[in-house]
């Protein structure tokens, strides 16, 4: 299944759940100055609706796991947290590679 089909499905789901109702800036032209492509605008809209792509969710999870690791004390506990971080980073790399292959960039 194409990424555009998955994105469309998420958008339709969010729309059916009413997550697009009363959004900030509704009915106004999109501000394209903050990004260099329509993808950035699409990601922002999806984020505001709570429908993020898996890659973005994993980026957030990696950042959170790094925070947890930095606060962890003890060798065994740090090993366990490092293992979780490595797993999340691997999953993120897989998502990025899939996107690159799909878009050919």
- Place 1 in a pLDDT band, splitting at 50, 70 and 90: low
Structural domain spans, the chain: 1-52, 53-105
Whether 67 shows a pLDDT value over 90: the answer reads yes
**pLDDT tens per residue, range 7-53:** 888 888 888 888 878 777 777 776 666 555 666 777 777 777 777 77
**Per-residue pLDDT at 55 exceeds 80:** yes
Distance between CA 42 and CA 29 in Å, rounded? 13
Mean pLDDT of 87-91: 96
């Amino acid at each position: 299944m194409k990424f555009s089909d998955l994105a469309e499905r998420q958008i339709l789901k969010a729309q059916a759940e009413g997550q697009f109702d009363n959004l900030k800036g509704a009915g106004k032209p999109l501000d394209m100055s903050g990004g260099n492509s329509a993808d950035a605008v699409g990601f922002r809209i999806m984020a505001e609706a709570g429908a993020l792509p898996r890659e973005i969710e994993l980026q957030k999870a990696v950042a959170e796991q790094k925070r947890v690791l930095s606060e962890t004390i003890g060798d065994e506990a740090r090993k366990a947290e490092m293992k979780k971080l490595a797993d999340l980073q691997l999953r993120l790399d897989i998502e990025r590679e899939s996107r690159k292959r799909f878009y050919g960039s």
